[in-house]
Chains A and B, each alone.
Chain A
Amino acid sequence: MILRGYRGTMVAPSTLDDESYLEAVQALRGLAMGPLSARAEAAALAAEPPPSRDQVAALPAVGLRDRLLRSSQEMLWRRTALTYDRNRAGLLAELAGDDERPEGDDQPPADPEPRYLREHHLQPGGYHGDELAGFVYHYGTKVFWLGANDRDQAKEAIVAALPLPDGPVRRVLELGCSVGQSTTALRSRFPAAEVWGIDVAAPMVSYARWRAGRLRSDVRFRRQAAEDIAFADQSFDLVYASLLFHEVPVPVGRRIVAQVARVLRPGGVFIVSDLNPLELTRSHWSAYERWWDTEHNAEPYELEFLHSDFTAELAAWFSRVEFAGEGYNGRWVAHR
């Protein structure tokens, strides 16, 4: 049972107070990410000689930005988790009603709860620790993205710009699909293709199925670890991973790349959208931001990923790798 209808493609918060609170948190986050970040960056870049990380953190403008960012992050996840918990029975009934979908066939990972899973981004229970994590993650990211993806429009724009492989696109796989926003966008982009999404976290997969059903998108989901893909060799034309690799330790990422090389057909393409490693060297402020995200926004593997040579990891398995970075965002296109 849904209490207050939908907001964009999400379930609306369970009470008006919760929705209003989260509106205010979104505005707080906008303030922190907008003018306060700009002033913090200006203060950090104006300091001479270039300050150390501790010295940047000690600047009043930076401390102020950091406090508001941390507060807004804690507030958004706690209240989002609370608002769906108020309707726990109703939402679980929604998910249970979706059990008859044919594309089940989950393959729980060998380690039922991979040790690398954490409470990413400060979300209570992370991706995996609460049956309602999909509802929570979806609305939490709405606040995180400042409302810019309420109808999946940001994800659809990214998917619409993905390059094509040589030859036809008959089968598409998304790794670490979470709530399935890019998966349904891939289906819209390739309406004749069979589109799959896999994720290691059971709550994400059950929510992704439920959500895609509500949107009448003919996509298929399986619970599966990206480092242990249970699909046949050379069975996909395009594999996509959005913001996955910075969420796993580098050795796990290495195994994922090898698996993708196995399931992608010759001429197929592997496209990775993730954080831009060039941000580590653009300025001491951009490097500070990446460190802060790792240490204070529960992104435990972010710096590890950014310091790894991900382009070289791909080049070990693919014939040609192209990289483009702009701001926070990096994109790798690896040709099989």
Chain B
Amino acid sequence: MTTPNAPGLPNASTPPGPAVPVYLGDPVADALLHVACELTAELWSVKRRLRLLEAEVEALGGRPLDQLPVSDEEARLSALAAREFVASVLGALGDVSQGVAPHGSG
């Protein structure tokens, strides 16, 4: 599905460049749908891994995860990891303002 000549977008004569294809009229909505797809996949992979991990911990007589101590340094490193994760998942949003082109233009 393409959205040629959507309002505010370059037309088909725009020279090809670093633009990204847009399938919905609103490039932001387009990017957000991509984000939702990324998040769904990432969320499921985490949920599956967590379910296996918690079952394993319980089988070994371990403590509930909410009772595990977290040091400030661990929290700091985790915050950095979260930043990288969010940047990778939401990176597509940054492309919106870098120029967009209708699908198939280049």
Contacts and interface: CB of A to CB of B under 8 A. Distances in A.
Interface of A: 3-5, 7-8, 12, 15-17, 19-20, 23-24, 26-28, 30-31, 35-36, 39-40, 42-43, 60-61, 63-64, 67-68, 147, 150
Interface in B72-88: 72, 75-76, 78-79, 82-83, 85-87
Contact of B87 (A17, A31, A42): A31
A23 B79 contact: yes
Contacts of A30: 83, 86
A40 to B, nearest CB: 7
A35 B86 CA distance: 13
Contact of A28 (B8, B26, B86): B86
B25 to A, nearest CB: 11
Contacts of B82: 20, 23-24, 26-27
A67 B8 CA distance: 19
A5 B69 contact: yes
B27 A27 contact: no
A24 B90 CA distance: 12
Given A4-B70, A36-B94, 4 more contacts: A5-B69, A23-B75, A24-B86, A67-B28
B100 to A, nearest CB: 8
A8 to B, nearest CB: 6
Interface of B: 8, 26-28, 31, 65-70, 72, 75-76, 78-79, 82-83, 85-87, 90, 93-94, 96-98
Nearest to B97: A61
Contact of A68 (B8, B27, B93): B93
Contacts, number: 76
24 contacts: A5-B69, A7-B75, A19-B70, A20-B82, A23-B78, A24-B86, A26-B79, A27-B85, A28-B90, A31-B86, A31-B87, A39-B98, A40-B97, A42-B97, A43-B97, A60-B8, A63-B28, A64-B28, A64-B93, A64-B96, A64-B97, A68-B90, A68-B93, A150-B76
A128 to B, nearest CB: 29
A24 B72 contact: no
Contact of A60 (B78, B87, B96): B96
Given A8-B72, A64-B93, A15 B86 contact: no
Contacts of A64: 28, 31, 93, 96-97
B96 to A, nearest CB: 6
Closest 6 CB pairs of A and B: A61-B97, A27-B86, A23-B82, A39-B97, A27-B83, A27-B82
Contacts of A31: 86-87, 90, 93
B36 to A, nearest CB: 13
A269 B93 CA distance: 48
A60 B69 contact: no
B66 A27 contact: no
Contacts of A36: 93-94, 97
Contact of B96 (A3, A8, A28, A61): A61
Name, among B26, B79, B85, the residue most crowded by chain A CB atoms within 10 Å (CB to CB). Answer: B79
Contacts of B69: 5
A42 B28 CA distance: 17
B93 A16 contact: no
Nearest to B71: A5
A76 to B, nearest CB: 13
A41 B68 CA distance: 43
A321 B91 CA distance: 46
A4 B69 CA distance: 7
Contacts of A4: 66-67, 70
B32 to A, nearest CB: 9
Contacts of A24: 82, 85-86
A63 B28 CA distance: 8
B27 A60 contact: yes
A26 B67 CA distance: 23
A75 to B, nearest CB: 12
B99 to A, nearest CB: 11
